[in-house]
């Protein structure tokens, strides 16, 4: 029984990592930028969700607003920060991204205060039981939300014109352009989708924890980097699998290795172990 719950809790955490990390891997796949400020957009999504829910009383409206606003914010980050740096070496964009992330965290603290914000009335507090397995409605929302979002993303990539354009641009931007694909538009849409996913993850975490803080992005910022490396940089499917696997490993690690290994260290021990055996990542083709 304990093991069923541990795996389930691991999958819940893993699906949160997945939604964040997939956005990161989309950006990396397209532009070869390690987009650390992604975690700042995740935090922004969480703040918007809590503030709009408290103002209007409607969680769905708040989540919608969060994804739209943060999606646009992501496009602005691309336009104002990354685009001018595209012809520089990749570490320039990485340093800029880290700078933006720190700037965002401190701005949240100045604007919203250091104590963090909560929903006026806690959201999704019911308990769902299926046979002997029980979980909080917020946990279920995280699982279902991740499945819906990631399936939607999968369909978008496989079945739509945008998906074809995106994949073509990732494979060979020059060739894609010569076939009439607007690769600049692809980049904007890419940032919109990636950032909207981060916002959705932020909203789900806000509901789960009933707490949104300026620094809530700091752990996801580096852990999702570990995940996309594990998944084979730029590989969406691999990122998903790595996120879920890490979630489950962490769940077990918390219980059986917690006395000597910090939960946040587990991701990196796992990362080092995998890179020693498979330097291209768990799921990348050679």
Partner 1 sequence: MRRILPLLALAVLWLMPGTAPAQDVVKIGFHAPLTGFAAADGKSARQGAELAVAQANAAGGIAGKKIELVVYDDEGKPENTIPLANKLIGQDKVAVVVSGGYSGPTRAAAPVLQRAGIPYLSAYAIHPDITRAGDFIFRTGMMGEVQGRAGAKLVADLLKKKKVVIVAVNNDFGQALTAGFKEVAPKFGIEILKEHTFAMPDRQFGPLVAQVKASDPEVIYAPGYFFNAGPLVAQLRAAGVEATIIGQEGYDSQRFIEIAGKASEGVIVTTSLDRDSTSPATRAFIDEYEKAFKDRVDMVAASGNAAATVAIAALKKAGTDPKAIRDAIRAGSFDTAIGTLSFNNLGEVKKAVQVQVVKDANFHRFAIIDDLQFLAPPEK
Which residues form the interface with partner 1 (CB under 8 A)? 1-2, 5-6, 8-10, 12-13, 16, 106, 109, 113-116, 118, 122, 125, 127, 134, 136, 138-139, 205, 208-211, 213-216, 218-219, 250-252, 254-255, 258-259, 262-264
Nearest alpha-carbon partner for 31 in 62, 71, 74, 69 = 74
Taking the least distance from each CB to partner 1, the nearer of 10 and 29 is: 10
Taking the least distance from each CB to partner 1, the nearer of 162 and 252 is: 252
In sequence order, what DSSP letters do the residues of 150-215 get, joined into one string? HHHHHHHHHHSHHHHHHHHHHH-HHHHHHTT--HHHHHHHHHHHHHHHHHHHHHHHHHHHS-B-TT
Taking the least distance from each CB to partner 1, the nearer of 122 and 155 is: 122
| Shortest separation between residue 262's beta carbon and partner 1, angstroms | 5
| Shortest separation between residue 155's beta carbon and partner 1, angstroms | 29
| Shortest separation between residue 114's beta carbon and partner 1, angstroms | 3
Q: Answer for the pair 227, 95: CB distance below 8 angstroms, yes or no.
A: no
| Shortest separation between residue 26's beta carbon and partner 1, angstroms | 24
Question: What are the DSSP E strand ranges found in the chain?
Answer: 127-130, 133-136
Task: Give the relative orientation of helices 38-56 and 59-77 as an angle to the nearest 10 degrees.
Answer: 150
Taking the least distance from each CB to partner 1, the nearer of 44 and 216 is: 216
Taking the least distance from each CB to partner 1, the nearer of 209 and 280 is: 209
Task: Give the relative orientation of helices 2-31 and 161-171 as an angle to the nearest 10 degrees.
Answer: 70
Compute and round to an integer the Cα radius of gyration of the chain.
19
| Shortest separation between residue 249's beta carbon and partner 1, angstroms | 11
DSSP β-ladder status, 127-130 and 133-136 = antiparallel
């Amino acid at each position: 029984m304990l093991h069923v719950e541990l795996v389930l809790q691991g999958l819940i955490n893993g699906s949160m990592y997945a939604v964040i990390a997939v956005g990161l891997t989309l950006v990396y796949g397209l532009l070869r930028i390690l987009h650390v400020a992604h975690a700042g957009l995740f935090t922004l999504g969480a703040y918007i969700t809590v503030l709009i829910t408290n103002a209007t009383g409607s969680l769905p409206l708040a989540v919608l607003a969060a994804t739209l606003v943060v999606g646009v914010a992501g496009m602005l980050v691309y336009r104002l920060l990354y685009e001018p740096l595209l012809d520089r070496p990749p570490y320039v964009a990485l340093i800029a991204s880290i700078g933006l992330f720190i700037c965002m965290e401190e701005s949240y603290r100045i604007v919203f205060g250091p104590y963090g914000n909560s929903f006026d009335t806690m959201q999704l507090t019911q308990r769902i039981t299926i046979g002997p397995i029980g979980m909080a409605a917020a946990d279920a929302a995280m699982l279902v939300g991740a499945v819906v979002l990631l399936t939607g993303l999968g369909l978008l990539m496989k079945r739509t014109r945008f998906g074809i354009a995106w994949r073509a641009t990732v494979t060979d931007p020059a060739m894609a352009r010569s076939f009439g694909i607007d690769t600049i538009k692809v980049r904007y849409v890419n940032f919109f989708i990636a950032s909207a996913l981060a916002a959705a993850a932020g909203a789900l975490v806000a509901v789960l924890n009933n707490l949104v803080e300026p620094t809530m992005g700091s752990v996801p910022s580096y852990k999702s980097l570990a995940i996309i490396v594990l998944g084979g940089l730029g590989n969406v499917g691999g990122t998903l699998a790595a996120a879920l696997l890490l979630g489950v490993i962490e769940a077990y690690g918390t219980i059986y290795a917690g006395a000597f290994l910090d939960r946040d260290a587990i991701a990196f021990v796992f990362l080092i172990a995998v890179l020693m055996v498979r330097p291209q990542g768990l799921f990348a083709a050679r």
